Chain A
């Protein structure tokens, strides 16, 4: 750790940061352009009319509503299953523990297209029609690990002695869970839950394989990309989606600020 960053390093850092954030600025700028067919830069004029038009699109609202339902359901399942497996992995030593670690990481380590096509072949074989539930099954599978990472990190920090003390003082499992365990992992649950909500809300690759004609917001968005007109509407929705996903991320970061690093690095596309 030499004293001061060299000019070259500073330049590489700030240029890299510019590279990371420039496209986001562009999205906002193009939401305000008066030109709706080409990608002309600089925009010939600025207007707010696309915000009004986007909010009148019924198909957009339907897609948003479906996405929120899917994300809520998938997150709910992931919270229950992720916490259970985190508790088991933290509390017990048993045969096959490494196998479970691999099993948890696999859905995010392998490309999403593999999860998608694997689920699709299975639904085909079982003659299951793609539906709301098949989308939820796909999403919950890769959300479990996000919850697991956050909760198991918290368990490791708090230790088991409080639970034993609670039992020694006469509380049963249910009371101990409610009065001791839950309060100590609450913020980790919230952080993991919000991350997996954002993960599901944004997912498109697995969803294209597990949905039939249901349009989640990302799928609606994908279709919009190939529409020749009214492009700025796509940008307005993009800005809107960014706000919806940014809030949980910043909040999750804030919730875990004094404790452990946020375990959000495991997101995959």
Chain B
């Protein structure tokens, strides 16, 4: 018997050998490089920065977390980011649901493939290009202002921009503009899981519901919506978590007020405070974990 043959037989007769050969390289990569790095990040959040040398001190300390929570500005950042993530998630459900509903129930064959691709293409077009496009659209001399002025509604836009908190000098320098960009960029992540969930709703149930005399609105509330909640939940996890971690959109479109992602970026970069950056990056993980718990309480995962 040749060596190759003998190796082959050994693999066939001892499945665990084949399993370990297949599993060890990817496990080494994900387990050591990825999980190891996450673990190391957690460790860094418990280190401190030496005030005199500016070097990281590799000793246990809570100073990074103390720094994080003792400053009201930092707490503001966490609250601001979380609120934005929630509002963006709600908007994505509001805009995304009708799109998914239409594609799942009212298209078929080639038209369906076409519309599906029309959701997939914006998802896959470059993130930065999408953000940049909105900078063009929202700029003071850009499309939106032109549109309002052409309709003689310039005063309306000015009125909206003068509202405290959401307004600003122009749409590209306001929380309202930032909200639009976030909603746009993450919208496909909401549409796709909802389409998948709607496709799994048995058509016979809907038929039965209307046969038994339910009005379309009732069928929607009592049959379709409960079955689609897991899809909405899956989509909302994406939109929520992506908004929490983003640092480029607040930098390109928006107000001077910082977001969590920007803090992480600035602290590790210009500020050179890696422990504080690590502590800040633990925050979204905790918020996402809490969010998942709440979603489970709401029964969103029961049908998963």
Which of A's residues lie within 8 Å of B, judged by CB? Answer: 1-2, 5, 9-10, 12-13, 16-17, 19-24, 26-27, 30, 38-42, 77, 80-82, 84-85, 87-88, 91-92, 94, 100, 103-104, 106-107, 109-115, 117-122, 124-125, 137, 140-141, 144, 167, 172-174, 198, 202, 204-205, 208-209, 218, 221-222, 225, 234, 238, 241-242, 245-246, 249-250, 253, 257, 261-262, 264-265, 267-269
B137 to chain A, nearest CB (A): 6
| CB–CB A39/B141 < 8 A | yes
Q: A19-B184, A81-B26 are in contact. Are A122 and B40 (CB under 8 A)?
A: yes
A202 to B129 Cα, complex, angstroms: 10
| CB–CB A5/B102 < 8 A | yes
Q: A1-B206, A88-B22 are in contact. Are A27 and B128 (CB under 8 A)?
A: no
| CB–CB B128/A242 < 8 A | no
Q: A81-B29, A222-B248, A225-B252 are in contact. Are A26 and B284 (CB under 8 A)?
A: no
User: What are some 16 contacts across the A-B interface (CB < 8 A)?
Assistant: A2-B219, A9-B101, A17-B115, A19-B95, A24-B122, A26-B137, A85-B22, A94-B19, A117-B278, A121-B41, A172-B9, A204-B248, A205-B248, A209-B268, A225-B128, A264-B120
A49 to B206 Cα, complex, angstroms: 57
B50 proximal to A (CB < 8 A) = no
Residues in chain A near residue B185, CB distance under 8 A: 269
| CB–CB A245/B241 < 8 A | no
A30 to B143 Cα, complex, angstroms: 11
B69 proximal to A (CB < 8 A) = no
B193 proximal to A (CB < 8 A) = yes
Residues in chain B near residue A167, CB distance under 8 A: 12
| CB–CB A16/B99 < 8 A | yes
A47 to B193 Cα, complex, angstroms: 41
Which of B's residues lie within 8 Å of A, judged by CB? Answer: 4-5, 7-9, 11-12, 15, 18-19, 22-23, 25-27, 29-31, 33-38, 40-41, 43-44, 95-96, 98-99, 101-103, 105-106, 113, 115, 117-130, 132-137, 139, 141-143, 145-146, 184-189, 192-193, 196, 203, 206-207, 210, 216, 219, 237-238, 241-242, 244-248, 252, 261, 264-265, 268, 274, 277-278, 281, 284-285, 288
| CB–CB A24/B36 < 8 A | no
Please name the residue on chain B nearest to A253 by beta carbon.
Answer: B117
Residues in chain A near residue B27, CB distance under 8 A: 85, 100
Known: A81-B26, A111-B284. 15 other contacts (CB 8 A): A17-B118, A20-B188, A23-B134, A38-B141, A41-B146, A106-B34, A113-B245, A114-B281, A117-B264, A122-B33, A141-B34, A144-B30, A241-B126, A242-B126, A264-B120
Q: A9-B101, A41-B141, A84-B25 are in contact. Are A238 and B245 (CB under 8 A)?
A: no
A62 to B290 Cα, complex, angstroms: 44
Q: A121-B274, A238-B132 are in contact. Are A41 and B281 (CB under 8 A)?
A: no
